[in-house]
Structure 1
Amino acid sequence: MTSNDRSSPSYWEKGSGSRGNSRHLEVTGQRVKYIGPGSADKDAACVRANTYVPPSQAIYYFEVQIVSKGRDGYIGVGFCTADVNMDRLPGWEPQSYGYHGDDGNAFRSDGKGRRYGPTFGTGDVIGSLLNRAEQTIAYFKNGIDLGTAFIGVAEEKLYPCVGMQTHEEEVLANFGDAPFKADVDSMRVEAARRLEAQIRQTELPGRGKVGSLMAEMIFDYMVHNSYFESAAVVARDLLDGAVEVSPKDRDEVRLRAGVAEALIAGHIEDAMSTAERVAPGVLQAHPSILFRLHCQKFMELVRQRDDEAAMAFGRSVLVKAASTGEDQELLQDALSLLGYNDPASSPCGNLLGTKVREDLAKLLIAAILKHTGRREQSAMERIGCQLETSLGTLLSLGDPRISLIDNAGPGNALKY
């Protein structure tokens, strides 16, 4: 099982040293061997991967097998930015991080390491985990988690890197082409769970005697979508009876539903009269919708093959009602239906389909809600739309936490 996508690092970049010590490394694909003099710190050399870890990738992991620890095992594994001095071991320079095999210390931005984990040498496999969601770096030895080594890791473009300093040191990287020693899937799941726990710790404001904000939103959603019995249960059990479904709410919701049902069924006059009953003046306030309703009445006559009535209605109402360029275009398409023996198979036959009536019903209901001072969606549905938009914005900005949220599934809000 691999952890990385196609844009992730895949091999070591030859000659990535910033000065001359890159000649001390023999680099072949994922393999690196130290061939320099190895007599002092000035002989150290580091190599980085061919590309940086994608900033939007929440969990990135790679492993390095220690083929040979060489003379002294001065091998460092970690991450660095592109402008780091590569004639130093990982972690010895600003914006670089390293875990070193000779002493087990963790180094960050200077040559003074701190005690972190065990030493490592020939045959060991060292894994490096970059967790962008939590801005941490952790290491694994032979698949065993050694814990967090660095926190506050905020650099946007970090490259996997490895450094060496003494004779015959040699490593072989695994950037995801082969199974890892560590369980990367579990790392993602645990990271998602921690993020979920963090989100759940966010407290919504209480609303006194009325009850919780969430319960109010559930009640509003139930009423808005005609689930009156369920709304009554929510009001009773979650809101202590502080609110109720009023007869007016029931009547308005049912009438709006009746408008949509009549229109979709092709009973245009019934839909229009009910719309005026629910929201007097709504059709005159939305002339484009009124014209589309007239067109739909015309098309219902065509669908019923009452061509004489359709032509009469077209001459007396439609032609006179078209006032905009969009109206004229729809009028021409509608009138063209009369020129075919089988209007449904004509180029504009889609106008006779159910989807056209369904779309018009949505427009009319939205106009009714606006005309009566109500919102088209319940508060919960609006929040859902806002959340989706926010996630899209964060995704476009490359926020790595979105990859943990975006793979959510039922039963686990942040399952990867």
Structure 2
Amino acid sequence: MEDDQPAPAADAVNLFGFSPRWWSGPEWKRTNEPAEEPEPSHLNTFNSSGMFHNVSPDKLSVRYVGCGQHGYDVGAVQANCPAPTRRIVYYFEIKVKNAGQHGRIGIGFTPKEYDLRKQPGWDPNSCGYHGDDGYLYHGSGKRYRFGPTFTSGDTVGAGINYAFPQFFFTKNGELVGNVVKDIKGPLFPTIALHSQNEEVTVNFGKQPFLFDIKALELEERQKVRVLIEKEYLTPTVSVQIIRSYLLHYGYQDTLDSFDVESESMHPQVTRENGIEEEGCAYALRHRKILRQLVKNGDIDSVFQKIKEWYPQILQNDTSVISFLLHAQRFIEYLRNQELLEAVGYARAELSRFFPIKSYADLLEETMSLLAYDDPQKSCVGYLLEDSHREYVADAVNAIVLSTNPNMSDPRNYLYSCLEKLLRQLIACFSQRRALNNNEGQELRLPVELEINHGSG
């Protein structure tokens, strides 16, 4: 048989979408390792107006060494990287060790190519709170009274609220005020000094902040929650969304209990709300039985029932569902510590899947269970967990739904109405972030809902 054989074309539904561990190696690695977002940790000594300031060896303190006699004798320094954006708020603080001759210290945010011989806020696309006059500078020629001045001994903070785009500033643990953030990033935390003997230290979060940033985060989350709760969802809709989920996955006993409880709580709830149940109810009793058999590890009975009820499903002996069921039967032998039987089954039933490239990663992990004395504690131990049986049961459920002649959209086999709503929520959230320059907290749901694994 030729190597790298393609997957059978007859599979109308990509069953690998149910478990991210079933995806290809690179795809699983990409989703399993969340992208790290760099955070500022120290001052950047390479991009700075070095002739006017001196940064300490630990890069967390800066002292003005110029004369400060001219307008552009500013000694500004940025953080080593821009403020992270995939969160609700970002914040940092400085401690004024010495306000120097005039206390012309500024704190704020500037873009990467900013002229560091100017205070933050003096040029466009920057914002800064200044200690000598308490003014907020917000772009070329824009300044206004904002808060109190600050001097030696004071702790001053600057932050970005991404939930309701604003810059905000604090003094000695108290919020001074905020201003609309109408500047696109990336933006770097920036400190500026402009008179003799000025010196500050910076805290990027390695030490506790004087300002309670966690309380602010909680407050902003609560504001978002209030906005969400203003959108009323009628009992009719909510009940039917839950019913469709239970119907879709064949949880008949749970559905019956839910219906009894719903009737007592919402006796007026009707089912005329646009949610189609007929397709979800298709083969409900069969799907319930098959799910329970998979969860019990009785794969032989699953094969028997499918051949009896839906023989067309297993006509292609190299289809995805055939592969998943045979792989699970092999796994059940190992769960029962029947090693010789597992090896014999692999030779008889799994060998035909080896040339099919799309099965290679999962098949390799499945077979590698044989290499461990205690496979449950190995890197492929997840295959022996009950959750893996659930994924196989979901695949069987979907393939049975696919036999419904009245259901033409493959997405209806894979996802319930609830999951479709969640996927739509992800799409809307992503679009909202895109409109906000991709800034703000990301919505993270299980990756199998975030990535589209519809028809292949």
Matched, 1:218 2:256: no
Match in the other structure for 2:39? 8
Name the stretch that deviates more: 109-118 or 366-375: 366-375
Within 5 A, what are the aligned runs for 1:175-324? 175-202=204-231, 212-224=236-248, 225-226=251-252, 227=254, 228-234=256-262, 237-238=265-266, 240-243=268-271, 252-262=283-293, 271=302, 274-275=305-306, 279=310, 281-284=312-315, 288=319, 289=321
- Partner Cα separation in structure 1 for residue 330 and residue 190 of structure 2: 71
Moved over 6 A (4+): 246-251, 266-269, 290-301, 353-359, 388-398
Match in the other structure for 1:25? 53
Alpha carbons of structure 1 residues 113 and 258: separation in structure 2 relative to 1, 3 Å: same
Alpha carbons of structure 1 residues 354 and 8: separation in structure 2 relative to 1, 3 Å: closer
- Partner Cα separation in structure 1 for residue 122 and residue 60 of structure 2: 23
- Partner Cα separation in structure 2 for residue 354 and residue 127 of structure 1: 48
Give 3-state SS (helix, strand or coil) of 1:364's partner: helix
Give 3-state SS (helix, strand or coil) of 1:16's partner: strand
- Partner Cα separation in structure 2 for residue 130 and residue 199 of structure 1: 22
Deviations 1:324-372 (A, max 9, x none): 955xx99xx9xxxxxxxxxxx9xxxx9xx89898766544332211102
Name the stretch that deviates more: 8-17 or 391-400: 391-400
Aligned-pair identity (%): 26
Match in the other structure for 2:76? 46
- Partner Cα separation in structure 1 for residue 65 and residue 219 of structure 2: 41
Contact 1:235 1:243 in 2 (8 A): no
Residue 94 of structure 2 aligns with an amino acid whose one-letter code is V
Within 5 A, what are the aligned runs for 1:399-414? 399-402=438-441, 406=444
Residue 25 of structure 1 aligns with an amino acid whose one-letter code is H
Superposition CA RMSD, Å: 4.8
Match in the other structure for 2:453? none
The number of residues matched between the two structures is 365
Matched, 1:383 2:415: no
Match in the other structure for 1:341? none
- Partner Cα separation in structure 2 for residue 93 and residue 135 of structure 1: 20
Match in the other structure for 1:339? none
Alpha carbons of structure 1 residues 278 and 6: separation in structure 2 relative to 1, 3 Å: closer
Matched, 1:157 2:167: no
- Partner Cα separation in structure 2 for residue 381 and residue 323 of structure 1: 31
- Partner Cα separation in structure 2 for residue 89 and residue 297 of structure 1: 69
TM-aligned CA deviation for residue 12 of structure 1: 2.5
TM-score, L = length of structure 2: 0.64
Contact 1:78 1:160 in 2 (8 A): yes
- Partner Cα separation in structure 2 for residue 324 and residue 236 of structure 1: 54
TM-aligned CA deviation for residue 267 of structure 1: 6.5
Residue 217 of structure 1 aligns with an amino acid whose one-letter code is I
Alpha carbons of structure 1 residues 295 and 89: separation in structure 2 relative to 1, 3 Å: closer
Matching residue within 65, 70, 74 for 2:100: 70
Matching residue within 116, 124, 128 for 1:86: 116
TM-aligned CA deviation for residue 200 of structure 1: 3.6
Q: Work out which of the two has the higher radius of gyration on C-alpha atoms and give 1 or 2.
A: 1
Alpha carbons of structure 1 residues 379 and 98: separation in structure 2 relative to 1, 3 Å: same
Alpha carbons of structure 1 residues 237 and 96: separation in structure 2 relative to 1, 3 Å: same
- Partner Cα separation in structure 2 for residue 231 and residue 159 of structure 1: 55
Matching residue within 368, 384, 388 for 2:400: 368
Alpha carbons of structure 1 residues 221 and 407: separation in structure 2 relative to 1, 3 Å: closer
Deviations 1:17-39 (A, max 9, x none): 46xxx412222222222222222
TM-aligned CA deviation for residue 184 of structure 1: 2.1
- Partner Cα separation in structure 2 for residue 15 and residue 363 of structure 1: 55
TM-aligned CA deviation for residue 378 of structure 1: 2.6
Matching residue within 165, 184, 191 for 1:135: 165
Contact 1:215 1:239 in 2 (8 A): no
Residue 441 of structure 2 aligns with an amino acid whose one-letter code is I
TM-score, L = length of structure 1: 0.69
TM-aligned CA deviation for residue 123 of structure 1: 1.1
TM-aligned CA deviation for residue 142 of structure 1: 0.6
- Partner Cα separation in structure 1 for residue 296 and residue 46 of structure 2: 72
Residue 402 of structure 1 aligns with an amino acid whose one-letter code is Q
Matched, 1:100 2:91: no
Give 3-state SS (helix, strand or coil) of 1:402's partner: coil
Contact 1:258 1:274 in 2 (8 A): no
Alpha carbons of structure 1 residues 26 and 256: separation in structure 2 relative to 1, 3 Å: closer
TM-aligned CA deviation for residue 391 of structure 1: 7.2
Residue 177 of structure 1 aligns with an amino acid whose one-letter code is K
Give 3-state SS (helix, strand or coil) of 1:36's partner: coil
Give 3-state SS (helix, strand or coil) of 1:10's partner: coil
Residue 10 of structure 1 aligns with an amino acid whose one-letter code is S
- Partner Cα separation in structure 1 for residue 203 and residue 220 of structure 2: 22
Alpha carbons of structure 1 residues 367 and 239: separation in structure 2 relative to 1, 3 Å: farther
Q: Which runs of 5+ in 1 are unaligned?
A: 312-317, 334-344, 409-416
Residue 253 of structure 1 aligns with an amino acid whose one-letter code is L
Name the stretch that deviates more: 374-383 or 184-193: 374-383
Alpha carbons of structure 1 residues 260 and 174: separation in structure 2 relative to 1, 3 Å: closer
TM-aligned CA deviation for residue 119 of structure 1: 1.1
Alpha carbons of structure 1 residues 359 and 86: separation in structure 2 relative to 1, 3 Å: closer
- Partner Cα separation in structure 2 for residue 37 and residue 323 of structure 1: 77
Contact 1:135 1:154 in 2 (8 A): no
Deviations 1:374-405 (A, max 9, x none): 634431134345656887999999944335x5
Contact 1:62 1:129 in 2 (8 A): yes
- Partner Cα separation in structure 2 for residue 290 and residue 78 of structure 1: 60
- Partner Cα separation in structure 2 for residue 357 and residue 10 of structure 1: 44
Contact 1:278 1:368 in 2 (8 A): no
Give 3-state SS (helix, strand or coil) of 2:195's partner: coil
Give 3-state SS (helix, strand or coil) of 1:43's partner: coil
